[in-house]
Amino acid sequence: MLFFFKLIDYLLAAVAITSIFIIYVGSSDQQYITAASVALTVALGLFIFNRQSVKNAQKESQKTELSKKAELYTSLLSNGTTLDYNTVLPARAKALEYCQELIDDYKSSRNLARTLYYVLQISTVILSGVTPILVLVDKLEAGQSWLKWLPVICPAVASIVASIVTSFPFEKNWMAANKAVELLEAEQEKFILGISPAYRCYDISEEGKQQQRVSQAIELFINQVNNIHLQIVQPSSDSEQGNQEKQESPQPEESTTGQKVAA
């Protein structure tokens, strides 16, 4: 189903490109322009509608994949044990789904912050480098009045872009999101395969203890995922502690200087 929706996306994109080509090339025939405009409008509308179908299909495919990963752990259990799969497997799948949602959110944040950072940096470099060339073009008296404004506009835009880069920590957000993705993916693999001591229960022979360890592993996994998420979302606690240490450190120096003055 996902492949079918993606194929529709490609077909609609091809229709849109063909319509744009007809509008610009066949400008002499009004009927072709009208038909191409209608086709372009319909293609764009269907493309937007189909994108939601693609997202829904991707979510369903991801749910199926996570359910398979949740069942993978049961193959590592000891032979002869019968766990309550009606509650264990849905709980494991739900925990993996929660972790995957955080991973997807951090991936989108990482991609957006990284794209904005690179675009703004490249724009600053280009605008700063083009400004001297525009000054020379202005002195050539090309006869174009709008060229006189470019040596003023480009430095202004470059300074605005540079201010945006320094005001908003795109690079810091990108690195923090990338760190969160790596930590969450590593923790997810540990939970799926049970390679961590906190998630390992297939080496326990007793069925009751094994069932208890499986439930504890799910709880520990959720707590660990939340801890990783809070470390990224709430980094202000470390900075506040650093500020308190800086405020407390000058106090001994002030007391010693006061003693020297008194002496």
pLDDT of residue 116: 92
Q: 143, 174 in Cβ contact below 8 A? A: no
Q: What is the pLDDT of residues 229-260, one digit of tens each?
A: 998 888 645 554 555 555 555 444 444 444 44
Q: With bands split at pLDDT 50, 70 and 90, how would you rate the model's confidence at 227? A: very high
| CA-CA-CA-CA torsion sign (255, 257, 260, 261) | negative
Whole-number Å distance between alpha carbons of 94 and 70: 9
- List the structure tokens of 7: 């194929």
DSSP labels for 133-193?
HHHHHHHTT-S-GGGGTHHHHHHHHHHHHHHHHHHS-HHHHHHHHHHHHHHHHHHHHHHHH
Domain ranges across the chain? 1-53, 77-235
pLDDT of residue 1: 65
Q: With bands split at pLDDT 50, 70 and 90, how would you rate the model's confidence at 76? A: low
Q: What average pLDDT does range 125-150 have in this prediction? A: 72
Whole-number Å distance between alpha carbons of 124 and 116: 12
- List the structure tokens of 30: 């009004």
Q: 76, 42 in Cβ contact below 8 A? A: no
Q: What is the pLDDT of residues 160-171, one digit of tens each?
A: 888 888 888 888
Q: Which residues contact 125 (CB under 8 A, 6 or more apart)?
A: none
Mean pLDDT lowest among 4-18, 104-118, 163-177:
4-18
- Which residue, among 111, 101, 159, 163, has the nearest Cα to 131 in the 3D structure? 159
